[in-house]
Amino acid sequence: MLSKRIIPCLDIKDGRTVKGVNFVDLQDAGDPIELAKKYSDIGADELVFLDITATHEKRKTLAELVERIAIEVSIPFTVGGGVKSVEDAGVLLHAGADKIAVNSAAVKRPELLTELADKYGNQCVVLAVDAKLTEEGWKVHLVGGRERTEIDLFDWVVQAEELGAGEILFTSMDHDGTKSGFALDALRKVDGLVTIPVIASGGAGSEAHFLDLFTKTDVSAALAASVFHFQTIEIPELKHKLAQENIPVRII
Amino acid sequence: MKNIVIIDYGAGNVKSVNFAFQRLGYEPTLSDDPEVIRSADYVVFPGVGHAKAAMETINEKGLVEVIKNLKQPVLGVCLGMQLMCRYSEEGGVKGLGIFDVDVKKFDDELKVPHMGWNNVENCSSIMNGVEGQTYFVHSYYVPMTEETIAECDYGLTFSASLAKDNFFGCQFHPEKSGKVGESIIQNFLNQ
């Protein structure tokens, strides 16, 4: 049976991991390679790296980093952050990334999804979408949630699949950082509207939240950052707990 | 040192396959040159992307007969394995016909691509002794055949792995399947 995937997300700036990472047994928790290997060893199913480097020149560092990750790590990984064109994606894919996440650039120019899928196949095109529940419903937000658009979340994910996205990474800005559980209703609706896999993001605070997610929705995967980085939740224990509740997971 | 050649015909993540062999201590050569491919001890035929586009490239590069006539162990990975079959519903394209089976599209009722870790079972040949899960990403599948050496369930039971004479195929990505994947690559190199 296909396992539900558990995916740690690492924020990268200038080739280093940012946001508090607190693995006591790592010599350098700011080294994305060391952290990636650690996660791979303890049973993470995939990794997502989001590059938050501001300047264009420093993006070369990202391609070099991607290649180093690909050399060292034997599980799949997605790279996102600032991908605006087929060329941007090509640099990262050729460096060894398995998938590319696009967010704002696809909102501004939806045909980017089609261009990427035509060139590299939809299996490597992840549409990352950040949304908030407003008085007019769930609206897509840009720039890490700071800029609201009038685009409806549910319309957007359906359109994105038609255009060529192979996977949806949906982050609820209302839940992100709250550690109060995933946006179950919205996730269930997103998942029901598309035939591609959906990754849930935003709100993970306890093992019970993951159990809720996988029993109350059919999403394919859960992504989280700080609960894994600070070892509030240990991936092996989380997976054992899910397995006990008959959620299909990969135990290594 | 084993002379391993990875066929580099511009289809997808050749680098990841190369890195996986390097992690095991080997130094493969990447090439689309028929002479280099023929001289290898082991040949790896990777592939990611669309069957029709990939097959056109293989035709243009004159590699169809080269691959079909190889006598050393050959491992097709993901789309590589599918191209070694008779025919693919993806683009309605004729394959190399090494494996006597047609590639079909998954049912629309399922989430497609079939993406993630899934169990491989009833393992033999290069899959012998493999237990656990491997990483799959695909929208088309190879049905069960007499050449199946490992199976996987996703809405139906399909071929996770194939073998015929010196030809082997993996639908999953051994290069992305952690320790389990490494053991499969090692088994292939013990052929």
Supply the CATH number for residue B44's domain: 3.40.50.880
Inter-chain residue contact B117 with A45, CB threshold 8 Å:
yes
Give the chain B residue nearest A251 (alpha carbons).
B132
> Using a CB-CB distance cutoff of 8 angstroms, which residues of chain A are in contact with residue B139?
122-123
Q: Do B19 and A71 touch (CB under 8 A)?
A: yes
Query: B111, A197: Cβ pair inside 8 Å?
Result: yes
pLDDT over 90 percentage in chain A: 77
The pLDDT mean for chain A works out to 92
User: Residue B1: its pLDDT value, please?
Assistant: 85
Q: Model confidence over A83-126: pLDDT tens digits?
A: 999 999 999 998 999 999 999 999 999 999 999 998 888 999 99
**Complex ipTM:** 0.93
Optimal mutation site among A98, A126, A198, A223, interface B, most CBs of chain B within 10 A: A98
Give pLDDT, residue A200.
98
Of B85, B114, B138, B175, which is the active-site residue? B175
pLDDT 10s digits, A226-240: 899 888 999 999 999
Contacts of A201 (CB under 8 A, 6+ apart): A9, A169, A170, A171, A172, A176, A222, A223, A224
Q: Who contacts B89 (Cβ-Cβ below 8 Å, separation ≥6)?
A: B102, B103, B104, B105, B140
Considering only CB atoms, A195 lies closest to which of B112, B136, B173, namely B112
Give A-chain residues touching B176 at CB under 8 angstroms.
74-76, 98
B114 part of the active site: no
**CATH assignment of A5-244?**
3.20.20.70
Q: What is the mean pLDDT of residues A21-26?
A: 58
pLDDT tens digits along A69-83? 999 999 999 999 889
The total number of structural domains that make up chain B:
1
Q: Is B175 a catalytic residue?
A: yes
Rounded distance between C-alpha atoms, residue B148 and residue A151, angstroms: 47
Question: Would you call B19 an interface residue with chain A, using a CB distance cutoff of 8 Å?
Answer: yes
Q: CB B116 to CB A71 under 8 A? A: no
Domain that holds residue B105: 4-189
Query: In this predicted model, what pLDDT tens digit does every residue of B18-52 receive, in sequence order?
Result: 999 999 999 999 999 999 999 999 999 998 878 98
Instruction: Tell me which chain B residues have a C-beta less than 8 angstroms from the C-beta of A166.
Output: 113, 115
B121 or A19: which carries more pLDDT confidence? B121
CB pair distance less than 8 Å for A40 and B137? no
Q: Which residue of the set A45, A51, A130, A176 is catalytic?
A: A130
pLDDT above 70 for A56: no
- For the cut 80, the answer to whether the pLDDT of residue A57 exceeds it is no
pLDDT mean over B143-153: 98
pLDDT value, residue A30: 81
**Is B1 or B32 the better-scoring residue by pLDDT?**
B32
Q: So what's the pLDDT on residue A24?
A: 57
Q: Which residue in chain B has the smallest CA separation from A161?
A: B112
pLDDT of residue A27: 61
Mean pLDDT is lowest, of A61-70, B148-157, B177-186, for A61-70
Rounded to a whole number, what is the distance in Å from the CA of A105 to chain B's nearest CA?
A: 23
The answer to whether residue A21 scores a pLDDT higher than 90 is no
pLDDT at A180: 94
Check residue B13 and give its pLDDT.
73
| B138 catalytic residue (yes or no) | no
Q: Mean pLDDT across the stretch B123-132?
A: 95
Given a cut of 90, whether residue A40 has pLDDT beyond it is yes
User: Is A196 in contact with B173 (Cβ distance < 8 A)?
Assistant: no
> Mapped to the 3 state alphabet, what secondary structure does A10-51 carry?
EEEECCEECCCCCCCCCCCCCCHHHHHHHHHHHCCCCEEEEE
Give per-residue pLDDT as tens, B61-77.
Answer: 999 999 999 999 999 99
pLDDT in tens, A134-186: 999 999 999 777 889 999 999 999 999 999 999 999 999 999 989 999 999 99
CB B130 within 8 A of CB B183: yes
Which percentage of chain A shows pLDDT scores above 70?
A: 93
